Amino acid sequence: MATTLKNRSWRLSAAALLLSFSAQAQAPEAAATPAGMSGQEMLFWVLVSLLGVLVLALVLTGILIVVQLRPQLRKVYEMPTVRPSWSGKVLGLFVGDPVLLQGRVRDEIMSGHDYDGIHEFDNDLPPWWKMGFYGTIAFAAVYLFYFHVADAGQLSQAEYETEMKQAALLVSVGSDDPNKLTDFQPLTAAADIGAGKSLFATNCAPCHGAAAEGKVGPNLTDEYWLHGGEVNHVYKTVKFGVQGKGMVAWKGKLSSKQILQVSSYILTLQGSKPANAKEPQGEKDPTATKIAMR
């Protein structure tokens, strides 16, 4: 019986290998190598494919052997010295007894554990659950040693700081960086303030009002600011907008000089007290000052 099974297994393995080699032999010898793949890479994947076919053949052979030997394995499993052992429980998986995964159900009442007619039985916890629990303990010990004793890995805060540093390298450090405040001085020339006034009337008045008294947007004439009232803060708000608040970004629609002109004009309106001014929003900004035109 064993000799017959061995012969069958070797025949299956040999047949699988012959099929794989014949498939390779039937491929045209002058076939072009796929674009972007070198000869060594092609050879590597061929070897991996052959290994996969060999492993599959061995698995199928093992399954065939287990199916053919199942009656004999059942007799071995039923032996009193084999069944309770760990190897016997593994053997039980091949003969249809999942005790290794489910545990044994003994239904034996524990003495003194009887509450209102409800009995507690002393059954095993499922072995898969216990192995998972022990696995979490082992993982916690490895984690503690790796991250807190050996300091070999980064904790979440360190990972965050590293990622932020890496992201900063990808962002321009110039005036187009929304995280870096510019250092412009407000414009005070009449021509610049006039240009800013015209830009405000065309682009900003629909939301902030013709006199910046506030409509959908906030009042820009009082001393309260949502995003800062110094000229560079106003410049940043106008240029990049405020996501989720309805303030659109004017970058790409207005030039840098135009944005600075309208930002400077807004600061000339401080304390103008227009009619029907909207209630203050935000906080006072001590750096915000009114600009006087020259």
What DSSP letter does each residue of 145-174 carry, written as one string?
IIIIIS--S--HHHHHHHHHHHHHHHS-SS
| pLDDT tens digits, 73-99 | 777 777 877 777 767 777 777 776 777
Contact by Cβ (8 Å): 242, 173: no
**pLDDT confidence band for 10 (50 / 70 / 90):** low
Q: Is the pLDDT of residue 29 over 60?
A: no
Strand partners, 152: none
| Closest alpha carbon to 92 in 61, 125, 127 | 127
- C-alpha distance from residue 248 to each of 63, 133, 251, 258 (Å): 66, 53, 9, 16
pLDDT value at position 27? 45
Among the four given CATH numbers 1.10.760.10, 2.30.29.30, 1.10.357.10, 3.40.50.720, the one describing domain 190-284: 1.10.760.10
**pLDDT confidence band for 20 (50 / 70 / 90):** low
**pLDDT confidence band for 105 (50 / 70 / 90):** low
Residue tagged 């004017």 (tokens): 250
Contact by Cβ (8 Å): 285, 225: yes
C-alpha 94/C-alpha 63 separation (Å) is 10
C-alpha 236/C-alpha 228 separation (Å) is 9
Contact by Cβ (8 Å): 173, 180: yes
C-alpha 146/C-alpha 133 separation (Å) is 20
**pLDDT confidence band for 50 (50 / 70 / 90):** very high
Which own/partner pairs from 62-70 qualify as long-range (CB within 8 Å, at least 24 positions apart)?
A: 64/5, 64/8, 64/9, 64/12, 65/5, 65/9, 66/94, 68/5, 69/5, 70/94, 70/95
pLDDT mean across residues, the chain: 79
Q: Which residues contact 100 (CB under 8 A, 6 or more apart)?
A: 89, 90, 92, 93, 127
Higher pLDDT, 7 or 168: 168
pLDDT value at position 4? 52
Q: Is the pLDDT of residue 28 over 60?
A: no
C-alpha 196/C-alpha 254 separation (Å) is 11
**pLDDT confidence band for 13 (50 / 70 / 90):** low
| pLDDT tens digits, 230-244 | 999 999 999 999 888
**CA 255 to the chain's CA centroid:** 37
| pLDDT tens digits, 116-149 | 777 777 777 777 888 899 999 999 999 999 999 9
What the block records as the tokens of 78 is: 């039923």
| Closest alpha carbon to 236 in 206, 209, 256 | 256
C-alpha 124/C-alpha 99 separation (Å) is 10
